[in-house]
Amino acid sequence: MQVKQLLKKGTDFLGNRRNALLDCELLLSFTFGFNREKLMINADKDVEVELESLFEQYLQRVSEGEPLAYILGEKEFYGLNFFVDKRVLIPRPETELIVEKALECMEGSRDLRILDLGTGSCNISVAIATDLGDRLLQIDAVDISEDACEVAKINVEQHGLSEYIHVFQSDLLENIDSKHRYDLIVANLPYIGESKHRFISADTEKYEPKEALFGGHDGLVLYNKLFQQIVEKGLCFNYLIGEFGFAQGYAARELLNKYFDQNWGIEVDLAGIERIFIVKNAR
Ligand SMILES: C[S@@+](CC[C@H](N)C(=O)[O-])C[C@H]1O[C@@H](n2cnc3c(N)ncnc32)[C@H](O)[C@@H]1O
Query: Ligand 1 centroid to 120 CA: how many Å?
Result: 6
pLDDT tens, 108-138? 999 999 999 999 999 999 999 999 999 999 9
Q: Whose CA is nearest to atom 19 of ligand 1?
A: 171
What pLDDT, on the 0 to 100 scale, is given for residue 224?
A: 97
What pLDDT, on the 0 to 100 scale, is given for residue 282?
A: 55
pLDDT tens, 53-109? 999 999 999 999 999 999 999 999 999 999 999 999 999 999 999 999 999 999 999
Q: What is the mean pLDDT of residues 137-166?
A: 98
Tell me, using a 6 A CB cutoff, whether residue 148 lines ligand 1.
yes
Q: Whose CA is nearest to atom 9 of ligand 1?
A: 91
Asked if CATH classification 1.10.8 holds for the domain at 3-64, the reply, yes or no, is yes
Q: Is the pLDDT of residue 243 over 60?
A: yes
Q: Whose CA is nearest to atom 6 of ligand 1?
A: 119
Query: Ligand 1 centroid to 21 CA: how many Å?
Result: 32
Query: Ligand 1 centroid to 41 CA: how many Å?
Result: 41
Question: Parallel, antiparallel, or unpaired: how do β-strands 181-187 and 74-77 relate?
Answer: unpaired
Q: Is the pLDDT of residue 35 over 70?
A: yes
What pLDDT, on the 0 to 100 scale, is given for residue 208?
A: 95
- Say what the pTM is: 0.95
Query: Ligand 1 centroid to 122 CA: how many Å?
Result: 10
Query: Ligand 1 centroid to 143 CA: how many Å?
Result: 6
The string of DSSP codes covering the chain is: -BHHHHHHHHHHHHTT-TTHHHHHHHHHHHHHTS-HHHHHHTTTSBPPHHHHHHHHHHHHHHHTT--HHHHHTEEEETTEEEE--TTSPPP-GGGHHHHHHHHHHTTT--SEEEEEES-TTTHHHHHHHHHHGGGEEEEEEEES-HHHHHHHHHHHHHTT-TTTEEEEE-STTTTS-TT-EEEEEEE----B-GGGGGGS-HHHHHHS-GGGTB-STTS-HHHHHHHHHHHHHT-EEEEEEEE--TT-HHHHHHHHHHHHTT-EEEEE-TTS-EEEEEEE---
Every domain range in the chain assigned CATH 1.10.8? 3-64
Query: Ligand 1 centroid to 154 CA: how many Å?
Result: 17
Tell me, using a 6 A CB cutoff, whether residue 144 lines ligand 1.
yes
State the maximum Cα–Cα separation within the chain, in Å, rounded to a whole number: 67
State how far the Cα of 212 lies from the Cα of 87, in Å rounded to an integer: 9
Instruction: Output the CATH code of domain 77-280.
Output: 3.40.50.150
> Which ligand 1 atom sits nearest the alpha carbon of residue 222?
19
Question: Parallel, antiparallel, or unpaired: how do β-strands 181-187 and 112-117 relate?
Answer: parallel
Tell me, using a 6 A CB cutoff, whether residue 96 lines ligand 1.
no
Query: Ligand 1 centroid to 116 CA: how many Å?
Result: 9
Q: Is the pLDDT of residue 198 over 80?
A: no
Tell me, using a 6 A CB cutoff, whether residue 120 lines ligand 1.
yes
Q: What is the mean pLDDT of residues 16-38?
A: 90
Query: Ligand 1 centroid to 58 CA: how many Å?
Result: 28
pLDDT band at 19 (very low <50, low <70, confident <90, very high): confident
| Most ligand 1 atoms within 8 A of CB, residue of 82, 101, 128, 189 to mutate | 189
pLDDT band at 15 (very low <50, low <70, confident <90, very high): confident
Every domain range in the chain assigned CATH 3.40.50.150? 77-280
